Every structure is written in C-alpha cells, then in structure tokens.
Amino acid sequence: MHHPIDINPFFLDSPRGPLFCLSLMPTGVEPKCGVLYLHPFAEEMHKSRRMAALQARALAAHGYLVLQIDLTGCGDSAGDFGDASWQAWREDAQLGYDWLKAKTAQPITLWGLRTGATLAVDVARDWPDIERLLLWQPVTSGDQFLNQFLRIKLASEMLADGQAQSGTKSLRAQLEKGEGVEVGGNMLAPAMAKELGAIKLADMRPACPVYWLEVGAETSEQVMPASQRIVDAWRETNLNVATETVVGDPFWVTQEITECPVLLEATNQTLLATQNATY
C-alpha cells in the first residue's frame, strides 16, 4: 500500500553549526520503521542526490520515516568541506539517529551509499539496536578511495596543462605534512585524509542483518570480489548478509545525472519482504 507523504526541510543543531535535514513521513499512519540515509563523499553526493531522493520518497510511501542529513561541510549544512572529519560525520550521524529515535519507537535502518555506507557500518557497531543495514556500493578500502579521489585532481591538471603537476604520492605527502589539497572544488583536510585512509571495511563487523547491493554490468547474487571477500568473512561469523548486483550505471560518478531504476526496485523488494515478515 502506498501512502501520501509529508516532506519537511529543517536544520538540526550540532556543535559545528546547523545541519540541513529532510524528513519524509507517511501521513495518516504510524511509521513502520525509521531510516537514516548517509550520503557519499564530495561530488559523489551531488551526483547521487536524485537517486537518494527517489529512494527516500519510495520508502516513505511504503510507510517508512526517512531522514536525509547533510553532514558537516556538505550540501546545505554548516561549514566548508575542509572543516569535515570522519569523527564529525560519526557525530552527525548520531544526531540524526537520536532525532529518529525521538520521532518513532519503531526500529531503525541505516542506509548509506559509498562512503556513507561505510560510515553506516562504522557507527552501527556502537548502536546495538539498529535493525538492519542497507548498503549501496560501500567503499571497502578508505586508502584506495582516497587515491581515487586524488586522481580527480591529477586528471584536472592533465586537462588544464597537458600534464599532471603532481602524483598521488606527492599529494599524500602534502596531506601528511598538514597541508590541505583542493580536489574538484573541495578542500580535503589532512585530518579527514588521515581518518579516511585508515578505514578498512574488513576490520568492521556489524551486529545486525545486512543488505548489500551493488551496480554492475550483469545481474548476480554476488558482489564485486573485494566486496564478496568481506561478505564471506562476515557470514563466517554467522552474520546474516544478503547480496545482489543489479545492472546499471554508477550514477554517483557519471558525468550526467543518472538513474538506476533496477536498484530502486531491488531495494524496495528487499525491505518490503523483510517488513512483511516482521510486521
């Protein structure tokens, strides 16, 4: 059953300044579950806003209370990107979680995309009452992701000057010396680079069921090899992990704003099946 939804923008107070939030709530019914969405890193956040909005609306129409939050230094929240740190984002996520808990007594699902999915796994280890994790294409290695992010700067230099003025090693060295690096209009702070580079999803283990969805060239019940190794390790500890790869474009990095309807459909089917079995 689809419900009409009420969409409310507001700001949530944080020690670093107001955080922009968007709540989506089914009207006329008690929400069946609370969902906190954690967005990806830098430009990936902007590229994926449409997909996040489409999924949030779909979940709200199915009876979920959804909270989308712009983390510190991102979107319409306080601060510049250079002010952001992984620890600050953990604290922002906690504020969003507390807001949801105050609005509904129902279980909470953490939903994240890319680094947002990694952040969801990270914070879920400290929150014992999370019902499930919904992970869209999680970043498995912060170190690899950081190098990929820095390559954006190198590519920009190649286009502008015909050659890169630096390599990822020199950029990493610059960050290690305490100097920020501007990448694609975003100032990457040394603190964020250090925290992000140390993150390994393989070192984390959530305590709740996981739904891990990726986008690829072929439909599969498995995910990419690097992801699958983590999934297999989690399963060996008796963690309930469901995986699926759907066909589509990597909308978080495509040049034009891109949709992946199959991912939306797979997400809806996965959560609705769980909802029907639970409620």
Domain parsing of the chain, residue ranges: 5-140+201-278, 142-198
Is 80 exceeded by the pLDDT of residue 193?
Answer: yes
User: What pLDDT digit, counting tens, does each position of 220-237 carry?
Assistant: 999 999 999 999 999 999
Q: What is the mean pLDDT of residues 70-88?
A: 95
Is 80 exceeded by the pLDDT of residue 162?
Answer: no
Q: What angle do CA 100, 139, 68 make, to 5 degrees?
A: 25
- Determine what percent of the chain is predicted with pLDDT higher than 90: 79
Per-residue pLDDT band at 279 (split at 50, 70, 90)? very low
Per-residue pLDDT band at 156 (split at 50, 70, 90)? low
Place of tokens 């990419």: 224
Q: What is the pLDDT of residue 196?
A: 95
Per-residue pLDDT band at 270 (split at 50, 70, 90)? confident
Burial of 206 (0-12, 13-18, 19+ CB in 10 A): buried
Q: What is the mean pLDDT of residues 142-164?
A: 75
Q: What is the mean pLDDT of residues 107-122?
A: 97
Burial of 93 (0-12, 13-18, 19+ CB in 10 A): buried
Greatest mean pLDDT among 184-193, 237-246, 268-277: 237-246
Q: What is the pLDDT of residue 166?
A: 62
Q: What CATH fold (topology level) applies to the domain 5-140+201-278?
A: Rossmann fold (3.40.50)
Largest separation between any pair of C-alpha atoms in the chain: 59
Cβ–Cβ under 8 Å, residues 35 and 63: no
Rg (CA), the chain: 19
Give, for 38, the enclosing helix (H) or strand (E). strand 33-38
